[in-house]
């Protein structure tokens, strides 16, 4: 007996459950079911459709994530969730599935065909997808107040970006919808709200938007209770995310690494973001000031138990320690470099190294400190290097003792102590030299600088340049060359202006300019001037195609000239009809409507495109 499925109402659902409990051999289906359906596949521009995503899984703990489909130009205006039961009877046994349905109410935003992408479920290491659904959007049921189809692209390849003023005329009645509070917002996230003193707290600022927007500025509050380190997020990319069934574009806007300077309950005040929302080229953007919610951080003090002697509270993180000397055998008075390097993650900038104890047999200079912290990534990590210059004051075997570095590791929740190795330096010198140098000040740059030279020669090397015979020609050469270049450019421009190709380019440029001007005249409602400008554009296009002026020619001569230039008969006939239409529109402007002017503008655009394309292809 073939199985069948039905959607149960609450009453039927209860009755069915009683039957199952009464002894029917019901079993939970052990298969994953993922379906997508719509209540219609054709919808008017002013209507809505419902998309239902039905999901049934045996074990919800194995479900990793469910991605709702990409609805393309269909705008999600409402999202709801409901549950239902589906029963199946087959071969004398019964089973039922519990479905969780996500219902999206979609509103079309443009005419044509649009595809709803697949919903994707990740369950138990496997991926399940629904089939895409094709929706056809038709014209609105009511009479539109104006044309809804966009204007054609410019017939000139380099003008594809140009939007004519007719766009403003056709969209003037369609005011933009106001930007709602849920259309664009910002959120700040931290991995944890419980840290210890000195432990890094990463604050990431994200912007979510369903409308076009431009970020004007980001203002962080005062962070006097933290040591702040900016992180570079310029490589962050825009991604998509569904929040309660609504699709948003989101991006990482800013990020800071904060290190608490004191224990207690600390609060990060709201972060302010100024945006210009809307993004329409025809209406002004709406300025918004967005704020995040305050972030509360509980900072625990560093534990007192097990705190090593000499521990500095700035040393919180995870580190490694190393030391090195550039030479183990030197001569007396020869300086050596002792390098101490701390690497790891934490507040590298405030890190305090182990102190070098007094060395009675070395002259010690203050260290040179080098901090290297990459600016990318959420975690502050890098290295801090300390270079000490040590000058031995005695010969023999001198020792640099081992150093201890204590820090608190938040990951382990315990103090750690690292040690360097002791360094032995062999200093070679005679006893007399050692006794002589023991009480003297050591100059570590001795021999590095050359002595000052007191003797010099200031004798001349001949007469000055302006007394030479070549001075005047050298002075006059640059302006003379410049004038020659200008003359050459002028002659070339004159030659190019008189060539047939140059005249054709000028005529094509004039046709393009007049076609754009006609669009502005149509937007202003000047019908007579609109048709006159269209006719001039056609005459310029004919001249660009044939290389001969076309204004004032009879139609027979105009046809013959175009055929000689290789124009198609269909194009010639359409051009003649359009010229007659322009003449009629010029002398009867009162009967011209905006729809008729738009149609005429489109037809002339196609003629210009046909003539210009064939001319560019070389057919004359």
In a domain, 410, yes or no: yes
Pairing of strands 112-116, 63-67: unpaired
Looking at the fold, whether 276 and 325 belong to one and the same domain comes out as no
Looking at the fold, whether 15 and 123 belong to one and the same domain comes out as yes
Looking at the fold, whether 23 and 112 belong to one and the same domain comes out as yes
Please say which residue of 390, 412, 438 terminates a domain. 438
In a domain, 177, yes or no: no
Q: What pLDDT sits at residue 177?
A: 54
Looking at the fold, whether 10 and 134 belong to one and the same domain comes out as yes
* 495 three-state secondary structure: helix
Q: Phi, psi (5° rounding) for residue 53?
A: -105, 115
The pLDDT tens digits of the residues spanning 94-121 come to 455 567 888 888 888 888 899 999 999 8
Higher per-residue pLDDT: 612 or 186: 186
Which helix (DSSP H) or strand (DSSP E) does residue 595 occupy? helix 594-617
Helical residues (DSSP H) of 342-470, grouped into ranges: 431-438
The pLDDT tens digits of the residues spanning 5-15 come to 334 444 444 44
Q: Which CATH number does the domain housing residue 591 bear? A: 1.20.120.330
In a domain, 470, yes or no: no
Q: For the chain, what is the domain count?
A: 4
Looking at the fold, whether 29 and 98 belong to one and the same domain comes out as yes
Which residue, 111, 109, 133, is CA-closest to 40?
Answer: 133
The pLDDT tens digits of the residues spanning 459-513 come to 656 677 777 788 888 888 899 899 989 888 888 777 666 677 777 888 888 888 8
Looking at the fold, whether 523 and 550 belong to one and the same domain comes out as yes
The pLDDT tens digits of the residues spanning 223-265 come to 999 999 999 999 888 888 887 767 888 999 999 999 999 999 9
pLDDT tops 50 at residue 443 = yes
What does 554-570 look like in DSSP terms, one character per residue? -HHHHHHHHHHTT--HH
Looking at the fold, whether 205 and 292 belong to one and the same domain comes out as yes
In a domain, 472, yes or no: no
Q: Which CATH number does the domain housing residue 234 bear? A: 2.60.40
Q: Which CATH number does the domain housing residue 126 bear? A: 2.60.40.10
Looking at the fold, whether 293 and 328 belong to one and the same domain comes out as no
Average pLDDT over residues 272-297: 80
Q: Which long-range contacts (CB under 8 A, 24 or more apart) does 538-541 make?
A: 538/511, 538/575, 538/578, 538/579, 538/582, 538/604, 538/607, 538/608, 540/507, 540/508, 540/510, 540/511, 540/514, 541/507, 541/508, 541/511, 541/607, 541/608, 541/611, 541/612
Helical residues (DSSP H) of 457-593, grouped into ranges: 471-497, 500-523, 527-546, 555-564, 569-587
pLDDT tops 80 at residue 88 = no
Task: State the Cα–Cα distance between residues 274 and 277, nearest whole angstrom.
Answer: 10
User: With the C-alpha atoms ordered 118, 123, 127, 131, is the resulting torsion angle positive or negative?
Assistant: negative
The pLDDT tens digits of the residues spanning 24-56 come to 334 444 578 888 988 888 888 888 888 988 888
pLDDT tops 70 at residue 362 = yes
Q: Which CATH number does the domain housing residue 370 bear? A: 2.60.40.740
Q: Phi, psi (5° rounding) for residue 140?
A: -60, 150
Which residue, 522, 517, 490, 493, is CA-closest to 589?
Answer: 522
Structural domain including 107 reads 6-138
CA angle, residues 233, 237, 242, in degrees to nearest 5: 120
Which residue, 273, 294, 173, 293, is CA-closest to 213?
Answer: 273
Q: What pLDDT sits at residue 7?
A: 41
Structure tokens belonging to residue 417:
């102590």
Looking at the fold, whether 329 and 294 belong to one and the same domain comes out as no
In a domain, 389, yes or no: yes
Which pLDDT band holds residue 272 (cuts at 50, 70, 90)?
A: very high
With beta carbons less than 8 A apart as the criterion, state whether 275 and 288 touch: yes
Looking at the fold, whether 295 and 324 belong to one and the same domain comes out as no
In a domain, 260, yes or no: yes
In a domain, 327, yes or no: yes
In a domain, 169, yes or no: no
Please say which residue of 268, 300, 332 terminates a domain. 300
What does 199-231 look like in DSSP terms, one character per residue? --EEEEEEEEESSEEEEEEEEPPP-TTEEEEE-
Looking at the fold, whether 16 and 131 belong to one and the same domain comes out as yes
Looking at the fold, whether 328 and 433 belong to one and the same domain comes out as yes
* 603 three-state secondary structure: helix
Which residue, 7, 55, 3, 9, is CA-closest to 32?
Answer: 55
């Amino acid at each position: 007996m073939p199985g069948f499925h039905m959607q149960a109402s609450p009453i039927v659902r209860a009755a069915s459950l009683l039957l199952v409990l009464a002894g029917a051999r019901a079993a939970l289906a052990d298969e994953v079911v993922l379906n997508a359906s719509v209540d219609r596949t054709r919808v008017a521009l002013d209507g809505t459709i419902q998309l239902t995503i039905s999901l049934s899984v045996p074990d919800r703990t194995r479900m990793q994530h469910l991605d709702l489909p990409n609805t393309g130009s269909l705008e999600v205006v409402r999202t709801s969730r409901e549950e239902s039961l589906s029963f199946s009877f087959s071969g004398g046994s019964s089973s039922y599935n519990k479905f969780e349905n996500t219902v999206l109410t979609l509103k079309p935003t443009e005419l044509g065909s649009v595809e709803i992408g697949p919903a994707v479920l990740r369950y138990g290491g496997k991926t399940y997808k629904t089939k895409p659904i094709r929706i056809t959007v038709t014209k609105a049921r009511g009479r539109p107040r104006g044309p809804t189809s966009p204007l054609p692209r410019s017939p000139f390849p380099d003008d594809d970006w140009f939007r004519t003023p007719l766009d403003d005329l056709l969209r003037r009645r369609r005011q933009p919808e106001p930007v709602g509070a849920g259309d664009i917002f910002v959120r700040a996230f931290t991995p944890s709200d419980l840290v210890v003193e000195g432990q890094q707290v990463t604050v990431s600022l994200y912007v979510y938007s369903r409308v076009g927007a431009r970020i004007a500025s980001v203002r962080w509050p005062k962070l006097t209770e933290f040591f702040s380190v900016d992180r570079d997020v310029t490589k962050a990319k825009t991604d998509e995310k569904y929040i309660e069934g609504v699709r948003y574009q989101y991006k990482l806007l800013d990020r800071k690494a904060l290190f608490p300077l004191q224990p207690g309950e600390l609060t990060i005040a709201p972060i302010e973001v100024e945006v210009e929302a809307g993004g329409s080229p025809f209406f002004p953007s709406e300025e918004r000031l967005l704020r995040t919610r305050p972030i509360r951080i509980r900072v625990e003090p560093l534990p007192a138990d097990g705190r090593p002697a000499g521990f500095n509270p700035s040393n919180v993180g995870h580190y490694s320690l190393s030391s090195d000397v550039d030479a183990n055998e030197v001569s007396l008075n020869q300086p050596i470099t002792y390098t101490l390097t701390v690497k790891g993650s934490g507040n590298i900038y405030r890190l305090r190294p182990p102190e070098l104890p007094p060395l009675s047999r070395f002259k010690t200079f203050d260290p040179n400190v080098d901090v290297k912290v990459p600016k990318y990534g959420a975690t502050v990590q890098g290295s801090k290097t300390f270079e000490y210059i040590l000058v031995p004051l005695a010969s023999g075997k001198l020792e640099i003792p081992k150093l201890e570095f204590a820090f608190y590791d938040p990951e382990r929740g315990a103090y750690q102590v690292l040690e360097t190795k002791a360094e032995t330096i062999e200093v070679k010198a005679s006893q007399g030299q050692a006794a002589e140098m023991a009480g003297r000040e050591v100059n570590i740059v001795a021999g590095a600088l050359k002595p000052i030279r007191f003797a010099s020669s200031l004798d001349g090397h001949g007469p000055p340049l302006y007394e030479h015979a070549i001075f005047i020609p050298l002075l006059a050469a640059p302006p003379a060359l410049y004038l020659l270049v200008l003359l050459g450019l002028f002659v070339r421009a004159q030659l190019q202006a008189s060539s047939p190709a140059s005249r054709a380019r000028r005529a094509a440029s004039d046709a393009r300019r007049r076609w754009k001007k006609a669009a502005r005249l149509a937007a202003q409602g000047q019908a007579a001037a609109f048709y006159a400008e269209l006719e001039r554009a056609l005459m310029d296009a004919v001249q660009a195609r044939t290389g001969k002026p076309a204004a004032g020619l009879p139609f027979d001569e105009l046809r013959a000239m175009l055929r000689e230039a290789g124009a198609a008969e269909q194009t010639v006939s359409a051009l003649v009809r359009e010229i007659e239409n322009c003449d009629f529109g010029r002398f009867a402007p009162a009967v011209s409507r905006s729809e008729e002017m738009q149609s005429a503008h489109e037809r002339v655009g196609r003629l210009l495109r046909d003539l210009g394309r064939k001319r560019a292809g070389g057919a004359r």
